[in-house]
Amino acid sequence: MTLAPTTISNDAARAMTEQELRARLAALGRCGALRGGPAREPPPWEGAQIAAAVLVPLVLGSEPAVLLTKRTATLARHAGQVSFPGGRIDPTDASPEAAALREAEEEIALDPAEVELAGRLCDHVTGTGFRITPVLGLIPPAMALRPAPAEVEAIFTLPLATVLDPAAPTRERAPFRGMMREFWVYPHPEHVIWGATAAILVQLAEALRSLPGL
């Protein structure tokens, strides 16, 4: 994986090192050291919620990045969208972490033994009724990952410096089920990163920035 250098636009305009990232993740409590969390997401789903988990893979190295996938266009749900590896929590999964690791292995051949679990972010409820638990995991750089052809079209990274840039994500609006919906969008030269994936990235950035020194 090649991580293109990207600067951040806040006062400490620099990329976070692996050592800083580890220190900040270690300092986060359960559900992150958040100050308010992402705002203006879709209204809570009124019906039964479907439990799901995603792995938020943080790629280590000189310039850490977040690994993302683009789903194939033939899937029944969220076809062609950018997402984290993950899916529904099965009855046989012992925890959200187990579900996230299982799905990541199935979708991109990520060996669970190569993932260093680093906590969770707050659950994110989508406008389609999923309650997603984001599981943070540290992975080595330059891993030989393999997308499952039936599920994943592409694997790519977004520099953590871009994630941390408070000016990077923007709010956009579009009609959804008869009402206007606001959602986050992160910039990328090739992919559209929006919706729940972008909202989880915003939550990750707010959690990391909530600690002193950045």
- The pLDDT tens digits for 102-129 are 999 999 999 999 999 999 999 998 878 8
- The pLDDT tens digits for 158-210 are 999 999 999 999 998 876 666 777 889 999 999 999 999 999 999 999 999 88
The 3-state DSSP class for residue 88 equals: strand
| Per-residue confidence (pLDDT) for residue 147, from 0 to 100 | 94
| Per-residue confidence (pLDDT) for residue 9, from 0 to 100 | 40
| Per-residue confidence (pLDDT) for residue 199, from 0 to 100 | 95
- Tell me the whole-structure pTM to 2 decimals: 0.84
How far is Cα 136 from Cα 115, in angstroms, rounded to an integer? 9
Please give the mean pLDDT across all residues of the chain. 83
| Per-residue confidence (pLDDT) for residue 183, from 0 to 100 | 87
How far is Cα 15 from Cα 62, in angstroms, rounded to an integer? 9
How far is Cα 136 from Cα 32, in angstroms, rounded to an integer? 10
Place 7 in a pLDDT band, splitting at 50, 70 and 90.
very low
Q: Where are the domains of the chain?
A: 41-209
Q: Is residue 14 scored above 60 in pLDDT?
A: no
| Per-residue confidence (pLDDT) for residue 12, from 0 to 100 | 37
Whole-number Cα distances in Å, 35 to 31, 117, 136: 11, 23, 19
Radius of gyration of the chain (CA): 16
- Among 70-79, 147-156, 165-174, the minimum mean pLDDT is found in 70-79
* Higher-pLDDT residue of 45, 29: 29
Q: Topology of domain 41-209, per CATH?
A: Nucleoside Triphosphate Pyrophosphohydrolase (3.90.79)
Decide: 84 and 110 in contact? Cβ < 8 Å. no
Length of the chain: 214
| Per-residue confidence (pLDDT) for residue 47, from 0 to 100 | 65
